[in-house]
Structure 1
Amino acid sequence: MTDLYYTEEHHLFRESLRDFLQKEVVPHIDKWEKTGHIERFIWEKVGEMGFFGINYPEEYGGMNLDLFYTVIFLEELQRINSGGFAAAMWAHAYLAMTHLNAEGDDRIKQKYLAPSIEGKMIGCLCITEPFGGSDVAGMRTTAVKEGDHYVLNGSKTFITNGVYSDYLIVAAKTSPELGGKGMSIFVMDRDTSGISATKLDKLGWRASDTGEIAFDNVKVPVENLMGEENKGFAYIMQHFALERLIMGINAHARAEYAIEYALDYMKDRTAFGKTINTFQALRHLMAERTSEVEMAKAFNYATAYRLNRGEYVVKEATMSKLISTKIADQVINDCLQMLGGYGYMEEYPLARMMRDSRLGPIGGGTSEILREIIAKMVIDGKTYDPATKK
């Protein structure tokens, strides 16, 4: 299947990335999992290798490569078994930076996107609020225009890179009376007066800094508005397709890694005088789980192919996240079971993987919300049109 989408250059890129992660990242993962703080030096090393610039324009330091390099980047991040580290990397590269590239003007791209590609600046995307998770249109944060600046008030929560990032991409209501159609997107520096962050303690993704952020009369220059005023909701919805596909790809990749680990364990683990990979009940279970992962992977690759061609795959990306994350949780649960008591021990990878995987059906739109979005499209005939920026 991979030959349908990958060239020799893709395979060489995967080898280079895997080698980099094993040498430069893996030795530090356990420390970062304990501290919840990914040290700055690794961001710059990732940037130096060009991994943050995979899909971005060459004029800002990127490589302008196709989306399957991103697929490789995401898959390999899952194989080092730190959902938190992986999330910090892709939230920077494909949440914050996606908005910079799509809605930012040249000044914004020079100031924020270029150093983000270098790994010298870290970004976060602030959409979710304490009283409105998947209900983006119901957000309460406001931005009132006063002369040459906007004044922001409100709060955001569950923000990946929300504590240690250098800049924030923030959605706020500029015309609250218009509901979801009155939302805009801004970029602002972390040290702007009135911004404060509190680090959250999580079940999984422990290496990443997840924060709750408060905005108290924060003054943002008018020039830091990204795109058009009141077009923010359309921009967010457009990029959700990529975010959901990313989480679908993450899911099939971690499930694939879990299966590889479990099968390797099963061929050596003995019970009743034979290895446990010879017991029919276990063999058939793993056969079924492997089949599910392969089906999810094939669908995700096909969706990535269409997105790479410029198609608006909001339905398929939503389906990808819904089903792939469900499969991953079940696969990892069953793989942990294959290890018996050892699966429950922290020195084995399945315990952490199970905690990290559990966020899959929650982050980036809960499974319950995704089902309703899909239902609107396949039952009610609703369409979601891509945003345009003048």
Structure 2
Amino acid sequence: MSNQLVVDEGIMKIPSWWTCPDGFQELKEQAHELGKSVLLAGSSNSDQNSIYPRESLKAMAEAGFGAVTLPIEYGGLERGFKGFAVLAESFAQYCASSTMCWVMHTAAVHVLFSAGSEEQKNRLVPGVLRGDVGGLAFSEPATGGHFWNLVSSAPRYGNGYLLNADKSFVTSAGEADWYIVCTNYPESTKEDKLMFLLVENGTEGVTHYPFSAMGLRGNSSGPMKFENVFVPSENLVGDEGGMNYYNDNVVDPLFLLGTSACWIGVAQGALNAAIDGAKKKVHADTGSSVTGYQVIRHELAKAQISIDSARNMLIRVAEALDNCKANGKDLSDCLYPLWELKTHSADMVIQVTNQALQVSGGRGYLTGQVEKYLRDGRAGALMGPTNEILREWIGRTLIEVPWFE
């Protein structure tokens, strides 16, 4: 028997199917390779200097991940929600800012594809495949986390619309090549007056403001102001009103699934960093590494169990979304499990990054990987719908009363 076999004897290997759904292992490996070679290298600089991770996003597009959910005939990967979830979780283990920008970009591209015209798709999708970035400008400071309630409007003006809107927390603000802006069409005959307008970056009347935050410091999620912005009629995405359908069936599913995957990846990245540091740190007085203490191993085990519980929810919900799409059902059928997934993932990442910091001791408190994961992950529970709002919707659903009023 070789020495290698002796060394490996008795070491339990984690089954690959436990961490990745069947058929997506190669996609996961590609994402991790990109994460190690590109995303991780720029992550610290992006965080410490609040630099938008454009090079990372460009590399993700060049690797074929610019339009992961679109059909192959449009240049996309057509890997569905499950592929999207696997990629988001993998990327987030290396750079949460890049991942959040990519998640919001993917949601914007899919909104364009689902609600937009063929002319709009033909105009913008080729650029997306080359690295152009899309953004969503939805939430407004006047209504906070209730991003579905908007006070802005864009009445008709000549051969188009006159948009006036203050937007808050626009991921890739001032950096995206184009934005889908959600506003109200005041003259709509529909009960739902929401409409989507396509606004290109640099359009007259569009202003973005700096973003300085506790974490996710590279994703430029600052406010934007659209002041008397003329939007030509050919940039109306969908109809004059009635677009809440796409909130429930495109934006929410991709946003909730993608951000949940991000928090799971952040938690796994933090734990991996803590494990690596604990294995390498040897106490001179005892001759034992930090992992030689039972209490440390138990903390690592508890953290990994929490991560895996959220990851299994992630894959199950992604699979349900793919099944809905394949069977022609509305994706809004999956909103309840998406609420649970987002709430659990955002709570879990706070718990696990705290455990990773505790395991890392004083070294973890210093500016660095583990500390960054903790700051990045804290954003999840605050993102709208906040965990408090989601728990209310879940609770109302459980007692069989209308969840939305």
Give TM-score scaled by structure 1 length: 0.90
Instruction: List runs of 5+ in structure 2 lacking aligned partners.
Output: 1-14, 325-330
**Is 1:330 aligned with 2:351?**
yes
Runs of 5+ unmatched residues, structure 1? 385-390
What is the SS of the residue equivalent to 1:202? coil
Indicate if the aligned counterparts of 1:245 and 1:318 stay in contact, CA closer than 8 A.
no
Contact 1:180 1:233 in 2 (8 A): no
Matches of 1:204 and 1:151, distance apart in 2: 35
The counterpart of 2:240, out of the listed 226, 229, 248, is 229
Aligned-residue RMSD, C-alpha: 2.3
Contact residue 251 and residue 360 of structure 1 kept, 8 A: yes
Q: 1:366 aligns with which of 374, 386, 404?
A: 386
Q: How many angstroms apart in 2 are the aligned matches of 1:219 and 1:246?
A: 32
Match of 1:388 in 2: none
Q: Work out whether residues 166 and 225 of structure 2, in 8 Å CA contact, stay in contact via their aligned partners in 1.
A: yes
2 CA distance for matches of 1:224 and 1:301? 35
SS of 1:204's partner is: coil
Measured in 2, the distance between the counterparts of 1:133 and 1:297 equals: 29
Stretch deviating more after TM superposition (145-154 or 253-262): 253-262
Query: Contact 1:243/1:364 (CA < 8 Å) preserved in 2?
Result: no
Give the Cα–Cα distance (whole angstroms) in 2 for the partners of residues 168 and 382 of structure 1: 32
Match of 1:101 among 113, 138, 147: 113
2:264 is aligned to 252
Q: 2:200 aligns with which of 186, 189, 212?
A: 189
Moved more, 212-221 or 33-42: 33-42
Q: Judge conservation of contact 1:160–1:211 (CA < 8 Å) in 2.
A: yes
Query: Paired residues, what number?
Result: 379
Q: What are the superposed Cα offsets for residues 269-314 of structure 1, whole Å, 9 maximum, x if unpaired?
A: 3456133334343333332222222111111111111111125310
How far 1:224 moved relative to its partner? 1.4
Is residue 2:376 matched to residue 1:356?
A: yes
Once residues 250 and 362 of structure 1 are traced to their aligned partners in structure 2, the CA distance between those partners, rounded to angstroms, is: 14
1:263 is aligned to 2:278 = no
What is the percentage of aligned positions where both structures have the same residue?
23
What residue number does 2:328 align with?
A: none
- Residue by residue over 1:217-236, the C-alpha shift from the partner in whole angstroms, topping out at 9 and shown as x without a partner, is 11111221112221122211
Conserved in 2, the CA contact under 8 Å of 1:137 and 1:180? no
- Residues 370 and 176 (structure 1), Cα distance of their counterparts in 2 relative to 1, 3 Å cut: farther
> Does the C-alpha gap of structure 1 residues 370 and 17 become closer, same or farther in structure 2, counting only changes over 3 Å?
same
What SS class does the counterpart of residue 344 from structure 2 fall into?
helix
Greater Cα shift, 168-177 or 314-323: 168-177
Deviations 1:40-66, CA, capped at 9 Å, x for gaps = 454433222211122112232112223
Deviation at 1:176, TM superposition (A): 7.8
2:21 is equivalent to residue 6 of structure 1: yes
Say which structure is richer in strand: 1
Q: 1:260 to 1:28 in 2, by over 3 A?
A: closer
Q: Which SS does the other structure have where 2:364 is aligned?
A: helix
Hey, what's the Cα distance between the residues in 2 that align with 1:169 and 1:91?
Answer: 11
Q: Go from structure 1 to structure 2 and tell me whether the alpha carbon gap of 1:336 and 1:178 turns closer, same or farther (over 3 Å shift).
A: farther
* Structure-1 residue corresponding to 2:157: 146
Aligned to 2:8: none
| 1:261/1:368 CA distance change after superposition, 3 Å | same
* 3-state SS, counterpart of residue 143 of structure 1: coil
d(CA) in 1 for partners of 2:299 and 2:46? 34
TM-score (norm 2): 0.87
State the 1:381 CA deviation. Answer: 4.3
Residue 339 of structure 1 pairs with residue 360 of structure 2:
yes
* Structure 2 letter corresponding to 1:50: G
Structure-2 residue corresponding to 1:317: 338
Equivalent residue, structure 1, for 2:291 = 277
